[in-house]
Amino acid sequence: MPFFIKEKTKKKKNNKRARNVENGPNKKRKLERESEEEITTSEDEGTALNGDLFNSNSEDEDESPQDKKLRLAKIYLQEIEQREKEKLGENEEVDNRLISKRLNEDYLKEIGKFKSNVAENYSEDKIEKIDTLKCRQQKESITCLCLSSKNDYLFTGSKDGTVVKWNIELKKKEKMIPFVKLESDKISGHSKAITSIAISFDDKYLAVGDESSEIKIWCPKNLSFVKKFNGHNKKITGVSFRKNSHTLYSCSADRTVKVWNLDEMMYIETLFGHQDVITSIDSLYKERAITSGSRDGTLRIWKIPEESQLIYNGHAGCIDIVKLINEENFISGGEDGKICIWSLMRKKPLFIIHDAHGKDPLNQEPNWISSIATLVNTDLFASGSFNGFVKLWKLTSNFKRAELLFDIPQVGYINSMAFTSNGDKLIVSTSRDHKFGRYTFLEGQKIKNCIKVISFNKK
């Protein structure tokens, strides 16, 4: 049985008539147009030609492919110029060299060739401050978090079944999706513990998975309900948006990955292969997703257009987390206490950090890795466990090895972490128990279910 299952489409009526139309005199012109549009949307064309730009409807139905490419390119250049103006100030003139540099960086990021060395700018004495975010609606463990594209808002999900929207600058709660005991026709919240959360690149959609096997889509601006997706038959364990698009990937305890199109608000296909609960999922620009398969001991990269998967082995025991560094490298962690550095081109780890967070003093078992955060396309990543520290690491030897930079004391289970896109903050969730609830509570008055915002002074 193939591991890609696509939704069956209804047969069209009047097939004979449809075939006659297809074979008519317009067929050649139609094929030529489709061919040129294929080139336009190719991955090799770079970020400028991907994502929602192609969802823009032309005002002129007779617009040629060349005119469409030119129009979309102008829109993309205007977006880049606007972003650079925001950095410099509205009254400043944007140098064309900055735009050219940005275009080149975006292209290299999309093909997985962009690697920026920033880790040397981080040290323990550059920690400016650590702020705590806590609200009474999230008394239980915080399981997941995500940041808006401009790093101004944070969204957190917890075992209380609530989602909280935080204002990072003001350090306060803005809005909340509440826990609801029984769902009605008008959906206003979640009825089970939140397990995963992700936001689209343009902050248009917020995807939230919970233990009910449903994925709910919300509007990040006002947290109003948009759509509910059913399809998984066990709890959702991860959601991830493809960069620069509204394609959503989800994984579940039912051992499957599903692909959704939020532009059409529809299910696309199901991916089979894992032999155990899938514990995490991640994606970047390309049409592929990466997953960790818990106790089946594998990591898998799903190449969706090719309908194929790549399988990687290197951990002993449950794999809890996998994160992409760029399109060619990724990092994983599990209950064996290992952090593994991987390349897309090798089925075994390039480098293994054994006992990355030490050993339990009582039984001498390795402290498992419960979370990893990568500053995408750079040599910096962070790891979390429950031994009282978050560790920052530097990738070396062209991302083939890693060395410890420093530790940041943080008590509790580190269930989720994320860097802001510019790397000036690391957001950390600390909790009294593991996000999947498989382990005992940590005892101690200092352990709180809360969010820590660690700010760095990189100057």
Domain end: 56, 87, 111, which one?
A: 111
Residue 6 inside a domain? The answer is no
Strand order in the sheet with 288-292: 280-282, 288-292, 298-303, 308-313
CATH number at residue 439: 2.130.10.10
Q: How far apart are CA 309 and CA 302, in angstroms?
A: 5
- Taking phi over 0 as left and psi of -120 to 50 as alpha, with beta for the rest, 373 belongs to beta
- For residue 259, the cross-strand partners are 249, 269
Q: How far apart are CA 444 and CA 424, in angstroms?
A: 30
Q: How far apart are CA 326 and CA 115, in angstroms?
A: 8
Strand order in the sheet with 380-384: 371-374, 380-384, 389-396, 401-409
What range does the domain containing 279 cover?
119-456
Domain end: 111, 138, 162, which one?
A: 111
Q: How far apart are CA 369 and CA 302, in angstroms?
A: 23
- Taking phi over 0 as left and psi of -120 to 50 as alpha, with beta for the rest, 320 belongs to alpha
Number of domains in the chain: 2
Q: How far apart are CA 316 and CA 283, in angstroms?
A: 24
Residue 21 inside a domain? The answer is yes
Q: Tokens at residue 305, please?
A: 């257009």
Under 8 Å between Cβ of 321 and 279: yes
Residue 310 inside a domain? The answer is yes
Element (H, E) at 66: helix 65-88
Domain shared by 160 and 58, yes or no: no
**What is the 3-state composition of the chain as percent helix, strand, coil, each rounded to the nearest 5?**
15, 35, 45
pLDDT at 182: 74
pLDDT at 184: 67
Domain end: 60, 88, 111, which one?
A: 111
Parallel, antiparallel, or unpaired: how do β-strands 288-292 and 298-303 relate? antiparallel
Domain shared by 190 and 273, yes or no: yes
Domain shared by 94 and 212, yes or no: no
pLDDT at 328: 92
Domain shared by 248 and 102, yes or no: no
Domain shared by 291 and 387, yes or no: yes
- For residue 197, the cross-strand partners are 208
Domain shared by 82 and 177, yes or no: no
Q: Tokens at residue 440, please?
A: 């005992």
Residue 10 inside a domain? The answer is no
Please list the pLDDT of the chain residue by residue as tens digits (459 residues): 444 444 444 333 344 333 333 344 444 444 344 333 332 333 333 333 344 444 444 445 567 777 766 777 777 677 766 766 666 665 566 667 766 766 777 777 666 667 889 999 999 999 999 999 999 999 999 999 999 999 999 999 999 999 999 999 999 999 999 999 876 678 899 999 999 999 999 999 999 999 999 999 999 999 999 999 999 999 999 999 999 999 999 999 999 999 999 999 999 999 999 999 999 999 999 999 999 988 899 999 999 999 999 999 989 889 999 999 999 999 999 999 999 999 999 999 999 999 999 998 888 899 999 999 999 999 999 999 999 999 999 999 999 999 999 999 999 999 999 999 999 999 999 998 888 876 566 766 578 899 999 999 977
pLDDT at 25: 41
CB atoms < 10 A from the CB of 167, how many?
Answer: 14
Query: What single-letter DSSP state applies at residue 323?
Result: E
Domain shared by 134 and 280, yes or no: yes
pLDDT at 447: 82
Query: What single-letter DSSP state applies at residue 457?
Result: -
212 CB-near residues (< 8 Å, 6+ apart): 190, 191, 192, 235
pLDDT at 75: 75
Q: How far apart are CA 246 and CA 252, in angstroms?
A: 20
pTM exceeds 0.85: no
Domain shared by 37 and 143, yes or no: no
> φ and ψ at 49, to 5 degrees?
-110, 15
